[in-house]
Structure 1
C-alpha cells in the first residue's frame, strides 16, 4: 500500500476520471468523477471539499486560467460547462455531438479547448470582460475520436484513435483565428503517427516545451520531440513498463496516469497494476516505483511547484480485472496526495 504519510482525500462513490492542480496555487486540486460531480479540494482542509454536479458522468476538468473559483468540465453529457464555486452556478460553454473526452484552457488564446468522441476539437473564446463564451466556437475536424489532449504556452497536442497525433502551434493558430479563418481552413502544424503500436491512453507536454510523452494500453511509453530535424528525431525513444509476471505469464497493464514535474522535468506514470513509477527522461532511467495503491491508477497530477503528486485510483478502471491476483477486489475510488522528495529529482552524473 502507499506510504502512511500520504494525504488521503475523502473516498469517492464512483471512478475518478481526472485530477488537476491549480496553475499557481499549490494547495488547490480539482477532481472530476463518474458520479457527475467536480470537487474542489483545498489540501489545507482536505476533509471538506466543495462540489458541483453536471449532467452525465464527467471525463475531464480544467481550471479557468488562474481563477481559484471557476473551472470547465465535460463528459458524457456532450457539453462543456463552466463551474463557479463562488456563485454555485454552471454555464454552457459549448456543445458536442458525442461525449466530451478532454477539456483544457489556453491562456494564450483565452479560450476553452475541448476534444470529443465526435471527432472534433472545439475552440471557444471567453470574453475577458464578461467571462461569456463566444457563441460560435471554431470546429477543427479530426480523423478519429479524441483520447487525450495536452496544451502548453506554444503547443496543442491531440492524441486520437488510429494512432494519430496532431499538433498545433499556438502562435500560428492565434494568427489564423484573428484573421477569421474557419475550422476547415486551419491545418495542424504537424500530423504524426504514434510510435506506440497500440491505443494511446495519455499525452503530456514536457515542462521545457521541447516535446511530449504518450502512453498506451499495452504497457509502453514513448518520448517524442517537436523539432522535426533528423538529429533531434534521433533522440526519441520508447520503453516498456507496468508489467508483471503472474503464474509465469507476462501480464501487461494500460498506462493511464501521466504527469510531468514542473520543477524537475521528470515524469510519473500510473498503471492498471496499481503502481506509480517516476522517470528521468534524459537519463532514460526509472527513479523509483512507489508502493502499490489499492486499485488501478486512473490519473496523476503534480502541483505547480512540483512538491506534491496526486494519485487517483478507481476500482473499476480498465486494467484491474485480473481475478484479484495482483489488485485486491474492492480497492475503492480515491485520491491520495504524496509529498515529493528526492525521488523526483533527475539523476546527476558523477
Structure 2
C-alpha cells in the first residue's frame, strides 16, 4: 500500500557531528592548545583522539574502567583519569601506555601544567596528587606529593600557577602550584547546592562555579572589599512552562580564549554564551538531542565542541545516542557587548 512520503526533516543546526563517537556517556572533551585535535573520555572505557577539522578518529585507548577525565600534554601525548583508580599517560603516535600511579578511589579530574611539567589529579579518595613523569625510579616514581582535601574532589581548573579545587560539601580550595603545602585560600561555594564544574577566567583574576541547581557563581581571587563586591550569582538552564520553572544541572563551563566570554551547558540540552563582565546572555544555540555533558573551545576560539550525552540526572531511561558536535563560532556569538550609557541630560 503506497502513501505520501514523509516530509524531509530540517537539518540539525548544532554543528557537524563527529563520526565514531563513544558508545556510552561522554565524561569530558578538550581541544589541544596546538591544533584542532580533540580528546574525548567516556564511560565506554575509552579515550579517543579526533582531528575535529577533518572529522577523523585518529586513535583510541581502552581502559580497565570508565574514564572520567582526560587532558593533553602535547598534540600526541595525553593523560587519563580512570574509575579503576589509575592515572595513565597515553601516546597516540606510538601506541605506548604508561601507568603513572594510582589513587585509593576513582580518579575524577585532572589538569596538566606545561609551565611546571606537572600533572594534577583529583580523586574521590579525598586527595589531590601531583605527578612528574621525569621523577626517580620506584612504584610511584612520578609522584611529587599527595594533598588531603576536605571531601571528594569533583572538579579542578588551572590558570598559570593558580589551581582551584572544588569538592563535595561545597568546599573550594585555591592553591599556588609552586607551594602546595597548604591552600592559599579556603572558601565555601556561593551556591547552595552541589558543585558540578569550576573553570578559571583566562585572565587569571577569578573563577566560575556551576551547580546542580541551575546557577553559576562568578568569583574573584583578590580578597579586597572592592574585588569581592564584584562577585555575583545568576540563574540559568531553567525552562518555564507557563507556571513553573524546571531547573537543570549546569554540567560544564568553557571560556572563550580570546574574548573571555563563556559558554555553559546544562541537562536541558542547551548551550548558552554569556558576557560575565556585562552580566548578559549573548547567545543561545538550538537545543541539542540530549544533556550537554562537556564543552570546549578550540585554541583560537573558532570552533566549539559540544558533547550531547545523557548524564543520568533522571536515572536509567531510554535516551538519544551519545554524540559530539563541532560548530563554527561566529563573532556575534562570543563578542562582549558593553552596556551603553545614556548621555547626561542638560
TM-score, structure 2 normalization: 0.90
Deviation at 1:170, TM superposition (A): 2.7
Query: Is 1:273–1:320's contact at 8 Å kept on the other side of the alignment?
Result: no
Q: 2:43 aligns with which of 8, 17, 34?
A: 34
Q: How many residues align?
A: 328
Residue 62 (str. 1) matches residue 56 (str. 2): no
1:244 is paired with a residue whose SS is strand
Aligned to 2:94: 87
Query: Can you give the 5+ residue segments of structure 1 that lack an aligned partner in the other structure?
Result: 174-185, 324-328
Q: Answer yes or no: is 1:22 the counterpart of 2:32.
A: yes
Q: 1:302 to 1:37 in 2, by over 3 A?
A: same
Aligned twin of 1:217? 212
Look up the match of 1:307. Answer: 302
Query: Which residue of the partner structure matches residue 181 of structure 1?
Result: none
Mapped to 1, the partners of 2:262 and 2:129 lie a distance apart of 28
CA gap of 1:349–1:128, structure 2 versus 1, over 3 A, is farther
Change (3 A) 1:283 1:136: closer
Aligned to 1:319: 313
How many Å apart are 1:68 and its aligned residue?
1.2
Correspondences of 1:108-187 after superposition (within 5 Å): 108-127=115-134, 134-173=141-180, 186-187=181-182
In 2, distance between residues paired with 1:92 and 1:6?
Answer: 36
2:336 maps to 1:346: yes
Identify the match of residue 109 of structure 2 among 99, 102, 105: 102
Hey, what's the Cα distance between the residues in 2 that align with 1:133 and 1:302? 34
Contact 2:89 2:97 in 1 (8 A): yes
What are the Cα deviations for residues 113-170 of structure 1, in whole angstroms up to 9, with x where unaligned? Answer: 000000000001121999x984443000011000100011121000001100000023
1:194 aligns with 2:189: yes
> Counterpart of 1:48 in 2: which secondary structure?
strand
The CA RMSD measured in Å over matched residues stands at 2.2
Task: Deviation per CA, 1:265-292: give whole Å up to 9, x if none.
Answer: 0000000000010000000000011100
Structure 2 gap segments, 5+ residues each: 1-9, 341-346
Q: Distance in 2 between matches of 1:309 and 1:33?
A: 19
TM-score (structure 1 length as normaliser)? 0.89
